[in-house]
Amino acid sequence: MKLLKISSVLITLAISAICSAQITKKVEVKMTEKDSFDYVVEQFADIKVLRYQIPGWENLTLKEQRLVYYLTQAGTSGRDIMWDQNYKYNLKIRKALENIYKNYKGDKTSEDWKNFEIYLKRVWFSNGIHHHYSSDKIKPGFSAAYFDGLMKVTKTALSPAIAVIIFNDIDAKKVNLDESKGLLEGSAINFYGKGISLKETEDFYAKKKSPDPKKPYSYGLNSKLVRNAKGQLVEKVWKSGGMYGAAIDKVIYWLEKAKIVAENKKQADALGLLISYYKTGSLKTWDDYNIAWLHATEGNIDYINGFIEVYNDPLGYRGSYEGIVQIKDFDMSAKMEVVSKNAQWFEDNSPLMPEHKKKNVVGVSYKTVIVAGESGDASPSTPIGVNLPNADWIRAEHGSKSVSLSNIIDSYAKAAGKGKLEEFANDEEEIVLAKKYGEIGGKMHTALHEVVGHASGQINPGVGTPKESLKSYASTLEEGRADLVGLYYLYNPKLQELGLVDDWKKLGMESYNNYIRNGLMMQLVRLELGANIEESHMRNRQWVSAWVFEKGKNDNVIEKITRDGKTYFNITDYEKLHDLFGQLLREVQRIKSEGDFNAGKALVENYGVKVDQKLHAEVLARNKQFASAAYSGFVNPVLVPKLDKKGRIISIEVQQPKTFAEQMLKYSKTFGFLPSEN
């Protein structure tokens, strides 16, 4: 599970820290700011592209550097899988756009050409022609006639039937969560064959039974569901020799090299299982790998690789390809280890119904890491925190790993625009609290969300997995549930008792101010006027905020104030708001534990989807004064190996790409292993 694909709007909420697991050797990776480092690559449309550093790289051994290099190569080798998963014509369209970009010799000062460049960069950023966050099809700022002219002069081949899709309303939404439009029929995501219905899919997976019902396989996670020649539903499995096999074979090649230089046997064994999974497509092996990966806690290097997050599947079955390579950041870890060690206390003292509480919270590992490379679903737009694995039964029996991406957060902070807090905060008290407690509040919320939130609660015996019981609402309900755990404990003296904060009440007040301000107002800058909310995290922030706002109206817990034509939200009673967060957490856990689809649907649809259009217009108007883009993402540092005469790596240098286009074109050339049609 991912925590927040961050924007400049959320920067104060997004700073996080974490605890370390067992350490065999300490590596100094202090986050030292270099004034000469240029964090911003460029800005276009609603996007800002940033750089991040890898502090402490020079302190790794050559063997550790080689391991990081091989893992990043493995991750990036699967890049085109994500493009094809996002939309069946993405690779063909990208190839055409890039050919035009590289070969056009005409007027590059015209508005049409400038708009073409912006469109291509937006497509690069989103790994396809649909916006990375809203999932709406990106609208080009040039005409079909101009595009046709570009193709002719550059001798670019693209079927007219595909070229026209760039400009029309066909496949307008990558992930549609509006049931009235059909969850599958209205989604352009390339996970299901044309004409396959929701009922057919549910019936298909209802027939699949795991050998142990208490340890259900993640059916559908690594395949596309299609019809065969006889009209029967079958899975095209993503594996060596199967769908995406050409790219997966390259992933395997680099993972095998990584296994040779693994830091210890547990790490090597986990990599071996991951390789076996990619070769066979076995979901049993995937479970075995996740368990082995969870227990491989020694060493300085870790990674995420596979078909993991299911947010892009409207039915919640299929995982998007993702890779993140991490170096442990020990300087940020010690303090937050306290949260992990006290996970059981938080569970025991939560407002959940007794039957929904875990009697034994197992193996929550939380650490801060330095990112060395990202790919697929994590790049260019990246999370700031990740909690894995996603299988509930593995989390219950074996625990989970949570990571906070500290150098990513550091780059966000150093590149963030200023002034939005002063514009949207209700009064000077809010501003003062935010400046003093915003950073530590963000760290604490992230830690509580990941370590306690996702590990909390249990599903009643006999109730299916959330994707089966809560269906398209499972992701937003889970993210909201984890947020609520964090919110409930952010306003609690236990944090100060544990030595984590110097003033729990002021920290809690700031965190509540921040969450309500963002959930009801500031996050709306991400939407076009008139749009409803589709993205799971945005939905959860709104339904949490809107629910407590409505339920607290009789006691005026949160005031909606209009002053000089501007709207503000003011919390008048933090104690009552804390209680409301607890009530909502109790209900959302009940929904998950009992698999109450109707209650979950009502909560999300009634509070998390519709937008107050008058307020939205106001927020957009107020936000125009700020130059900073609503969304940020990253180019990756380039790891360049130096070889001796025998071809052996003797050193690896970290270089920074000069431009966004440079890296995207290099990736297409170096890691373009898939055919245009899969």
Would the pLDDT of 19 be above 60? no
CA distance 361 to 39: 40
CA distance 28 to 606: 49
**More confident of the two residues 490 and 28:** 490
H/E run at residue 375 = strand 364-376
Q: How far is CA 569 from the centre of its chain?
A: 28
Q: How far is CA 494 from the centre of its chain?
A: 30
Would the pLDDT of 363 be above 70? no
Domain boundaries, the chain: 2-31+41-78+243-633
Would the pLDDT of 418 be above 80? no
pLDDT at position 186: 96
Give the tens place of pLDDT for each residue, 195-230: 999 999 999 999 999 999 999 999 999 999 999 999
**Predicted confidence band at 13 (pLDDT cuts at 50, 70, 90)?**
very low
pTM of the model: 0.82
Cβ–Cβ < 8 Å for 47, 632: yes
Give the tens place of pLDDT for each residue, 566-616: 999 999 999 999 999 999 999 999 999 999 999 999 999 999 999 999 999
- In three state form, how does the secondary structure of 84-128 look? HHHCCCHHHHHHHHHHHHHHCCCCCCCHHHHHHHHHHHHHHHHCC
Give the tens place of pLDDT for each residue, 643-672: 999 999 999 999 999 999 999 999 999 999
Instruction: Identify which of 373, 380, 374, 423 has the alpha carbon closest to the alpha carbon of residue 619.
Output: 423
Mean pLDDT, residues 523-532 taken together:
92
Give the tens place of pLDDT for each residue, 144-190: 999 999 999 999 999 999 999 999 999 999 999 999 999 999 999 99
C-alpha distances in angstroms, 597 versus 180, 278, 520, 590, 600? 17, 34, 25, 11, 5
CA distance 296 to 401: 10
Would the pLDDT of 450 be above 90? no
Joined tokens for residue 485: 């755990």
Residue positions counted in the chain: 678
Instruction: Identify which of 357, 316, 364 has the alpha carbon closest to the alpha carbon of residue 340.
Output: 364
CA distance 22 to 365: 10
Phi, psi of 19 (to 5 degrees): -105, 155
Joined tokens for residue 200: 């057919």
155: left (phi over 0), alpha (psi -120 to 50) or beta: left
